[in-house]
C-alpha cells in the first residue's frame, strides 16, 4: 500500500511541476508576443520615411501644411496610425510603459496648430453631416492632456 502512495505522490509532484512549467512558458510567450507587437508598431512608424518627415515638420517647424498634395494622403495615414496607438492605450491593450514610447510624439502632434485646425474642420464637417469624427481617440487624448 505504501508503495502505491509513494508512486501517487511522485506522479502528483510531476504533474504539479509540469503545470508550473506550462504556466511559466505561457507568461514568457505572452511577454514575448507583446514585445513583438510593440516592436512591430515601432517598425511601422520608423520604417515609413514619410511619417518621419511629417513628424519632423511638426516637431521642428511646429507646422504641417495638411493641404500640401505631397503629404495629403500620408497625413491621413499618419494620423490614423496615432489614433490607433491611442485606441490601443484607451482599451488597455498596451500599458502605460509601452505607451510612453509614443507619448512625446502624440503631445507634439496634438499641440500643432495646423493639426488642431485640421481637426476642427473635420469635426465641423462630421457634425454637419451627422457622422463620426475620424480621429476620436486622438481628440480624447488631446482633451485629457490639456493641463499636462
pLDDT tens per residue across span 36-75: 888 788 878 888 888 888 888 888 887 777 777 777 788 8
Reported pTM: 0.73
Q: Do residues 84 and 132 share a domain?
A: yes
Q: State which residues form the domain around 117.
A: 48-144
**Res 30: pLDDT:** 73
Q: What is the CA radius of gyration of the chain?
A: 24
CA-to-CA distance for 106 and 141, rounded, in angstroms? 8
Q: Are 40 and 98 in contact (CB under 8 A)?
A: no
Q: Are 64 and 57 in contact (CB under 8 A)?
A: yes
Domain contains 82: yes
Domain contains 41: no
Q: Are 139 and 133 in contact (CB under 8 A)?
A: yes
Amino acid at each position: 500500500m505504501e508503495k502505491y502512495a509513494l508512486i501517487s505522490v511522485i506522479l502528483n509532484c510531476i504533474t504539479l511541476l509540469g503545470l508550473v512549467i506550462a504556466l511559466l512558458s505561457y507568461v514568457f510567450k505572452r511577454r514575448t508576443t507583446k514585445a513583438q507587437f510593440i516592436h512591430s508598431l515601432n517598425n511601422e512608424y520608423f520604417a515609413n520615411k514619410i511619417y518621419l518627415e511629417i513628424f519632423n515638420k511638426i516637431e521642428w517647424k511646429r507646422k504641417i501644411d495638411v493641404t500640401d498634395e505631397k503629404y495629403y494622403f500620408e497625413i491621413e495615414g499618419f494620423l490614423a496610425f496615432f489614433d490607433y496607438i491611442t485606441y490601443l492605450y484607451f482599451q488597455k491593450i498596451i500599458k502605460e510603459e509601452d505607451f510612453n514610447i509614443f507619448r512625446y510624439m502624440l503631445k507634439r502632434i496634438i499641440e500643432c496648430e495646423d493639426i488642431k485646425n485640421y481637426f476642427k474642420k473635420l469635426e465641423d464637417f462630421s457634425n454637419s453631416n451627422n457622422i463620426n469624427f475620424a480621429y476620436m481617440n486622438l481628440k480624447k487624448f488631446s482633451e485629457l492632456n490639456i493641463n499636462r
